[in-house]
Structure 1
Amino acid sequence: MMRFQGKRNAGPWRRMGAVLPRVAAALAIGALLTACTVQSEKSVKGWLVADPTARHPILVGSTPVTLDLAVPRGSYGLTRNQTYELRSFLRRYREKNEGPLIVGAPSGGANEIAVMHAMGQLRREFTSLGISRNEVRFDAYSGGGAGSAPIKVSYNSFAAQAPECGDWSDNLARDPKNIPYRNFGCATQRNLAAMVANPRDLVEPRGMTPRDSQRRDVLMGKYVKGDTTIAKKAKEEKVKASEVSGGGGN
């Protein structure tokens, strides 16, 4: 006699039917969480995470520095104050040492004879400060008949342009991304541009001075003989550890 086994086989299907809704619910919740995660993640601009020197760069360019020396008609060269100004100007040029020194002399003006006397003074000042002829370029320009057309002394110098600061648009009280704010590092860059003595140092390092050949020969001689090359210290420079620490009290 055959018995119907349908009820016995229906158990797994009943259990599967109970599990499927749970799986579907879990998948739905996972999809919602994934959607929230995608929406919350926003791209970060590259300049925000860059180094402050890249976000707030110091621009270095060449700019002309000019000194105008007025030479009135009938004068016998430069005045005392003009000579002082010229010397100060030439010293700054020697410190920077950037390119040729350009001297523009007026020609065809009413003060042409006075200009000739002043040019003689300029050449003497160049020589006294160690400026060679190869460093100076003389040009002539039309004085236009003026009675006091100036002698123009100029050279090109590097100048540093500081970045503009003051962008406080970010909320510093809340920063879930933990990235630098827009104005971060700008003040340091601006102060550096204002304080640098020679902006050319921001572009390339200065040339090294030659080493002391006399000291080098002394050290090499000691090295060849097998002697110590360490400099001898004076008695005042020698300190014992006990003297540095001092005595302890009770």
Structure 2
Amino acid sequence: MKTRILSLLLVIFSAGLLTACADSNGHWSDAETRKRSTVEMVRLSHPLYFAEGSTELSAAQKQSLQTFFRDINVGYGDSLSMDVPLDHAGHVSDIDQKRHASIAEYLKKRGLMLSAEFTPYGIALAPGNARLVVSRYTVELPKCPDWRQDSSPNYANATTSNFGCAHATNLGLMVANPKDLVVGQTYDGPHAAVAAKAVNKYMSGGKKKSSSTKTKTSASSGGGQK
């Protein structure tokens, strides 16, 4: 009996030694994608109903629209557009054009901009109905931290499984509009030359010599010469 127990303990001990010596990188492949955030565009829609022949939303419809904006926390980076019924030729009717202009003016007063382009989205709409479409970019952060691979020894001088985690995660958390991670924006900020000009003007007291002062100075200088 004791011999059997000792044999069993020896087997368990040997298995433990083999596990300790196993490669801890068994679940990591150098061919795996490097750590980066994933950006995706999603669209959220809200139905709009107009009375027959009307181009304005009712008070109830406006309240419903405001509730929708509050629920999705509409704001910076969101793109707003409309989807309206199209005729057989794919054209927008005159009344739907006026409805679009009415919605654009309504949103403008609330600090929101409606795209001039229509966005077909979902099933075809019945006459008198419309759809407000909010296009938004979202960012999905990489699965971090990732310590599946030991940082040392690293005889191949290869990047570790956790390489890029801090950069990709923090950039994804900081960016105000995830779309900028894909497309970017044209710089339209302060110009260094303009800023330097303002500083020079401040340092000089902001005084400029008038033309009369310059003329008087020149005349005085010329009179002293022989």
TM-score, normalization by structure 1: 0.42
Which structure exhibits the higher relative contact order, with contacts defined as CA atoms closer than 8 Å and separated by 6 or more residues? Answer: 2
TM-score, normalization by structure 2: 0.45
Q: Which is higher, the Rg of structure 1 or of structure 2? A: 1
Q: Give the number of the structure whose residues are more often helix, by fraction.
A: 1
